Chains A and B, each alone.
Chain A
Amino acid sequence: MSLTLLLPLVIPLATAVLCLAAWSSVRAQQIVSVAGGLAHVAAAVALVGAAWREGILVGQAGGWQAPYGISLVADLFGAAMVLLGAITGLACIVYSLGSVDERRERHGYYALVQVLLFGVTGSFMTGDLFNLYVWFEVMLMASFVLLALGGERPQLEGAVKYVTLNLVASGLFLASVGILYGMLGTLNFADMAVRVQTVERPLLLAITSMLLLAAFLVKAGAFPFFFWLPASYHTPPVAVAALFAGLLTKVGVYAVTRVYTLIFTQEMGLTHGLILGIAGLTMVTGVLGAATHMDIRRILSFHIISQIGYMLMGVGLAGIALARAAQVGGAEGAALRSAAALGLAGTVFYIIHHIIVKANLFLVGGVIARFTGSYDLKRIGGLYKSNPWLAVGFLVPALSLAGIPILSGFWAKLVLVKSGIDAGQWVIVGTALAVSLLTLYSMTKIWAEAFWKDAPANAGAAGADPAALEAGARFGRWATGGPIAGLAVITVVIGLGAGGVYRYAERAAGQLLDPQGYIEAVLGVKAAAAGDAQGAAKDATRDGEVVTP
């Protein structure tokens, strides 16, 4: 197995081990964490570069050939996710240096962050359904502890709900793994994708896959499974919240995208129609939830949900367009197929944009609370006058989230809306546009309340909490300002260099729409082109049914 493929996994694990070894010295853990974070980003950049040059990278754990061993796979989509995870991880680690209290640091905080990144990276790179379950559990276990670490009452209450709903989702995931294994006799993604083509009752398979969809949607925080998210995400320290907000729900979206482009593509009108409906409802409920709140972290938590809807929208659009294209054929079919490619490219672009922006907004929220002593918009104000640079740091991701032109969010939404128009799905296009207007409303609400209006008369009393002030004294300017500025610069760069990012997203979408390429990369070209009669028969039916762009 190539080192490029292994390093993004090995580095966080090794860093976590080193952090545990240096248990008694917080300083040593900090140094190791930052070094590990930098190395992780470097390894992820190398992975993206290799995936861009060489196509889909595949490694077989222990040298056991797929489908018998566990495959590690990095296509362009997965590699981009790994890189985004590494960047968010580094930003949050650096931010933690100046913001997380020493009690948490002494109880394994840095090691847990690395284990979380380890689980997230593994989820993005695995090529096996059961292995994905295990990575989910690695990630969840670390997130449980990070959420509860500190033991404050809101944290524990939030953690009870978070743990319960995520364990139920894991149970559903495991059950669907078992049933799918019973139906297909394999759990390797590529091998599953081959075998579903000859399954006798595709509708039954599609219905079974709904169990898996439910499990993933709980993790993604989509409608109607999102209740754990706003009940828990505002409770931990803001660096942890930013890490969760940037990465954890996106693992769910990634899993949906992966299995519903590679494996469950038989009844796309049905399954992807459902995904599209869920996407629309997720957008609306999320943004309306945000509109009712006045706590910065709660507003941002609800916006995660609403943004998940946009990402799912691309997957749903792609499926519906492909299902229609299979019926009509000809020039109209070709147009629909390009709309499908556009939809998936939109999903990839949206995730790239969103992870950076969302993590950054949480980090800015943390700084706001440090300066003013509160997350409550009614009790704070006047930050534009006192901290103009913080205002800029907020404005860039906030406007990007709402989709103001030139910033990254605009291009992401443009691609999705274009795809929706091409596919003729007017309802979802209208919903997406209306929701982005409401997103702008929420962001301007934070802007007007926290930055523009004068600080309320009792703000001094709110900020005079001695514990907060004392913590503020050791609040490193660079440790917190650096990640915010860095992520804001990335947002602007994605916006200005949208052409390049779009080309990447387009190629990633091309790979997602071509399951055959994935299958051949994982199972080996020889296995896919094997001359046995059954294989030939499979190929024949596949050519008749599956649409390739």
Chain B
Amino acid sequence: MTVLLAIVIGVLYAAALYMMLRRSIVKLIIGLGLFGHGASLLVFTAGGFVPGRPPLVEPGQTMPEAPFTDPLPPALILTALVINFGVLAFAMVLVKRAYQEVGNDDLNEMRTTDT
């Protein structure tokens, strides 16, 4: 399972970087989205999880039974996902406004502020 997830994370990162390096600003947004997903999945995988062992406390117990999935990484991911969602929504609007202003979706046309 971990190996499979590691491969998925790798593919996500690779796809994200590929998309970000394209010239279209729409693909840039897709790349940023994938990049965030890769990072979230990495947090999930690196946090260590035990398949089929949710951290649920049985009645009468005070702790879940010994090998259980750490609930903190999913909580971190939830926070990160919400942040990612908001930021990505902003980025989409920004890209749309930039497209209207520049009249082109080519990143190479957005060079007037470069040094």
Contact = CB atoms under 8 A, between A and B. Distances in A.
A167 B87 contact: yes
Interface in B24-55: 25, 28, 32, 35-36, 38-40, 42-48
A325 to B, nearest CB: 34
B42 A175 contact: yes
A153 B42 contact: no
A178 B44 contact: yes
A169 B20 CA distance: 13
A154 interface: yes
Interface in A204-233: 230-232
B35 A156 contact: no
B110 A157 contact: yes
Given A157-B110, A164-B32, A234-B113, A175 B98 contact: no
A296 to B, nearest CB: 14
A512 interface: no
Interface stretch (A140-148, A264-272, A409-417, A443-451): A140-148
A231 B113 CA distance: 5
B94 interface: yes
Interface in A521-536: none
- The interface centre, meaning the residue of A133, A157, A231, A293 with most chain B CB atoms within 10 A of its CB, is A157
A12 interface: no
A134 B115 contact: no
Nearest to B115: A230
Interface in A141-176: 141, 144-145, 148, 151-154, 156-161, 163-164, 167-168, 170-172, 174-175
A148 B94 contact: yes
B98 A181 contact: no
B15 interface: no
Contacts of B14: none
Contacts of A151: 97, 101
A167 to B, nearest CB: 5
Contacts of A178: 39, 42-47, 73, 76
Contacts, number: 113
Interface in B8-29: 20, 25, 28
Interface string A276-292: 00000000000001000
Nearest to A180: B46
**Main SS class of interface, A:** helix
Nearest to A182: B46
Nearest to B99: A156
A235 interface: yes
B35 A160 contact: no
Contacts of B56: none
Contacts of A168: 20, 32, 35
B6 to A, nearest CB: 12
Contact of B102 (A157, A181, A230): A157
Contact of B98 (A144, A157, A167, A234): A157
A250 interface: no
Nearest to B93: A148
Contacts of A376: none
B58 to A, nearest CB: 22
Contact of A156 (B76, B87, B102, B115): B102
B32 A167 contact: yes
Given A160-B110, A231-B115, A177 B98 contact: no
B9 to A, nearest CB: 9
Nearest to A167: B32
Contacts of B97: 148, 151, 156
A392 interface: no
Given A130-B76, A174-B43, A181-B47, A160 B115 contact: no
Contacts of B90: 141, 144-145, 163
Given A153-B112, A156-B101, A174 B47 contact: no
A237 B111 CA distance: 20
Given A148-B97, A151-B97, A167-B32, A175 B39 contact: yes
Contacts of A156: 94, 97-98, 101-102
Given A148-B94, A167-B32, A289 B115 contact: yes
B77 to A, nearest CB: 9
B86 interface: yes
A137 interface: yes
B76 A141 contact: no
Contact of A298 (B46, B48, B115): B115
Interface of B: 20, 25, 28, 32, 35-36, 38-40, 42-48, 72-73, 76, 79-80, 83, 86-87, 90-91, 94-95, 97-98, 101-102, 107, 110-115
The 9 closest A-B pairs by CB, nearest first: A178-B43, A182-B46, A156-B98, A174-B39, A157-B110, A178-B46, A171-B39, A175-B39, A158-B113
17 contacts: A140-B87, A144-B87, A151-B101, A159-B98, A160-B110, A161-B110, A167-B87, A175-B43, A177-B76, A178-B44, A181-B76, A182-B46, A230-B115, A231-B114, A235-B113, A298-B115, A302-B115
Interface of A: 130, 133-134, 137, 140-141, 144-145, 148, 151-154, 156-161, 163-164, 167-168, 170-172, 174-175, 177-179, 181-182, 230-232, 234-235, 289, 293, 298, 302
